Amino acid sequence: MVKTRALRDELIEVAQGKRPADMLIKDGTVINVYSGEFLKQNIALYKDCIAYVGENEVTINDDTTVIDANGLYVSPGFIETHAHPWVVYNPVSVTEKVLPLGTTTTVNDNLFFYLHMGALGFKQLVDDLEKLPGNFFWLIRLVSQAIFPGEREWFNQKDIIDLLSLENVLGTAEVTRWPLLYNGDPVLLDIIDAAKKMGKVSDGHNAGCSYEKLNSIAASGISACHEAITAEEALDRLRLGLWTVLRNSSLRPDLSNIIKLITEGNVSTSRILMTTDGPHPSFIEKEGFVDGLVRQAVELGVPVMEAIQMVTINAATYLKQDDYIGGIAPGKKADILLLPDLDQFRPDLVISNGEIVAEKGKLTMQMPDIDWSKYLSEKPFTFSREILENPDLYIYPETSSSNSVPVIFFRSNVITQRKDLELPTKNGFVDLTDQEGLMYATLIHRNGEWVTKGILEKFAINLDGMASTFNTTTDLLTIGRNPEAMAKAAARVYEMGGGVVIVDGEEIILEIPLQLTGMMTTDPSFDKAVEFNDKLLSALQARGFPFHDILYTLLFLTCDFLPGLRLVPFGLYEVKTDKILVPSIPMTYLSNEIKA
């Protein structure tokens, strides 16, 4: 829930001229998202709230900050309802970037923080991040993005409901494995019911879900879905009462298609939102954040008022926070943007919680210094590094007399399909020496319990070896055509405590340290995250990676909800048939085999 410092009686006194305002915004054109009007008005702020909106003057004194907004548009701060603050950037660095762009509220997925910190550590993090400017809220995951042994014990009902009771938590996060909801998983349904009794939302992720199946998802209690990729799919969600979230992200820049729901469909936009859905750092640098959504929506023909309503009052209403955020009115939080035009939607001035926090795209305040070290695992890997240094760990075993191997063929950044190939073998292992475009892939459990193996096609051509903890499981994912190079990359990531390493021959050519849960840099600068993303993408494209979003390719190769073959903790998994094609191998057994 939004907290305010201003008392109700204080706001009443400012509105009546009995108490001086702390800030007065004069003569701006207020974008009234409640009435849909553009109104020339004054706005008086007291502490962190709005006290008055109208044409009258209010009492001021020498301490009142007076802002002349003549010629400017005064907008509510933008709201991102579905953020992932862990795409190489971290909560501090991404806030530093998006707050000057006008996003004053983000609602954030807690997945990797919870996976690594547990309930107690995550609570401490929530407390630490209260120091951030703007409104930084959370949604709580109910399951991971890839089932693993002991998952239900880790995501236990008691801890989840305890986290849902936190004031900065607004609901449950997306369930990417939506068949659990379709099949009526009793634990998930109980938690969603508990969230609703607390007055909180339940976010959804229903990729590829048909209209008929969406009926069951809606019945399960899910509040919203951002996974429509066509206008027709978006309309299905809208008609079934789901808050319909139009997405434009680095992985799925779908807005130009799904916006036709509005521009051609003539539907009410009162239950339509927009999201960037955790874009990679360079996308934000180039396209912006929520400001970019509004800009593109207007370019595509959505009326300005409706575009702004979708990322302000609609978003606040969905989140059940419209008593506090989402509009410019007395009693609301003073999250306000001064926009020079209604084309670019880049604010000249950003006010958050009644304070000026950014001007002309630059922060005007000091970001908090978070001590990430207390959240870093002392032992991100609990087995000996020597195991990783043996090249035999990374080659694919001969699994049948026919030499037919189920290969993970990449159709796009994240969609794969099964290809069965006859491959040569040598000494009981598949030999890729003369197989252009094929790569070994190995997922190694960070606690040394299991290893999953596969072979990739169309991931790269000339990649000797890479290793990465940036993936859905945050275990150690290695890919390459040269087992010696893969071993060197894996050993270096081990030494770094998490991150990405690429090796050519015997030379390490790229290192990206991501010690925070194996997913994030601890650097407070967003520019560092952009640099890391650009260097990684460039290095892999130079080695034959054919797609545009390497971070999401790595992230989702180890999930268990997208077509078609995946590397997961239980083995090489075929999503469509829900079958493990090649089981994972216990690390102890594998270590003994390697030593032998």
What is the β-pairing status of strands 169-172 and 135-140?
parallel
pLDDT, one tens digit per residue, over 239-256 is 999 999 999 999 999 999
| Model confidence band, residue 592 (pLDDT cutoffs 50, 70, 90) | low
Q: Give mean pLDDT, residues 142-164.
A: 97
Mean pLDDT of 155-171: 98
> Residue 400 above 80 pLDDT?
no
Q: Give pLDDT tens digits for 347-388.
A: 999 999 999 999 999 999 999 999 999 888 667 899 999 999
Contact call for residues 290 and 309 (beta carbons, < 8 A)? no
Residue 595: per-residue pLDDT: 47
* Main-chain phi, psi angles of 59, to 5 degrees: -70, 130
Confidence of residue 3 (pLDDT cuts 50, 70, 90): confident
C-beta neighbour count of 400 within 10 angstroms: 8
| The pLDDT of residue 377 | 67
The 10s digit of each residue's pLDDT in 281-334 is 999 999 999 999 999 999 999 999 999 999 999 999 999 999 999 999 999 999
CA dist., res. 581 & res. 84, Å (int): 31
Q: Which two tokens stand for residue 270?
A: 């009162």
How far is Cα 38 from Cα 28, in angstroms, rounded to an integer? Answer: 10
Dihedral Cα 309, 313, 317, 320, nearest 10 deg: 150
| Rounded mean pLDDT, 118-135 | 96
Average pLDDT score over the chain: 96
d(CA 287, CA 593): 50
Burial 572-581 (b: 16+ CB within 10 A, else e): bbbbeeeeeb
Contact 530, 281 (CB under 8 A): yes
pLDDT at 577 over 50: yes
- Kindly report the number of other CB atoms within 10 A of residue 402's CB atom: 9
pLDDT at 570 over 90: yes
Contact between 518 and 444 under an 8 Å Cβ cutoff? The reply is no
- Residues 439-482: pLDDT tens digits? 999 999 999 999 999 999 999 999 999 999 999 999 999 999 99
Measure the CA–CA gap between 275 and 314, rounded to whole angstroms. Answer: 12
| Confidence at residue 401, expressed as pLDDT on a 0 to 100 scale | 62
CA distance 410 to 459: 6
pLDDT reported for residue 232: 97
CA distances from 260 to 266, 308, 350 (A): 9, 17, 31
Instruction: Work out the percent of the chain whose per-residue pLDDT is above 90.
Output: 94
Residue 590 pLDDT level (bands cut at 50, 70, 90): low
pTM score: 0.96
* More confident: 494 or 400: 494
Give the phi and the psi of residue 448 in degrees, each rounded to 5. Answer: 75, 25
Read off the DSSP letter of residue 481.
S
Q: How far apart are CA 128 and CA 136, in angstroms?
A: 11
> How many CB atoms lie under 10 A from the CB of residue 547?
18
Q: 461 in helix, strand or coil?
A: coil
Scanning 99-144, the segments in alpha helix (DSSP H) are: 111-128
Burial 291-321 (b: 16+ CB within 10 A, else e): bbbbbbbbeeebebbbbbbbbbbbbbbbbbb
Question: In this prediction, what percent of the chain has a pLDDT beyond 70?
Answer: 98
> For residues 149 and 154, what is the distance between their CA atoms, to the nearest angstrom?
10
Q: What is the pLDDT of residue 593?
A: 55
The DSSP bridge pattern shows strands 78-83 and 103-109 to be: parallel
Strand partners, 333: 49
CA gap 484, 70 in Å, rounded: 66
At residue 7, the pLDDT reads: 97
State how far the Cα of 217 lies from the Cα of 502, in Å rounded to an integer.
41
Closest-CA residue to 216 (of 179, 174, 175, 177): 179
Sequential DSSP letters for 52-109: EEESS-----TT-EEEE-TT-EEEEPEEEEEE-TTSBS-HHHHHHHHGGGTEEEEEEE
CA distances from 10 to 13, 20, 23 (A): 5, 10, 14
Pick the range with the lowest mean pLDDT from 85-94, 275-284, 374-383. Answer: 374-383
550: part of which helix (H) or strand (E)? helix 550-557
Cβ–Cβ < 8 Å for 558, 566: yes
For residue 89, pLDDT beyond 60: yes
Residue 199's contacts (CB-CB under 8 Å, 6 or more residues apart) are 320
Asked if 561 contacts 176 with a C-beta cutoff of 8 angstroms, the reply is yes
Q: Which amino acid is at 402?
A: S
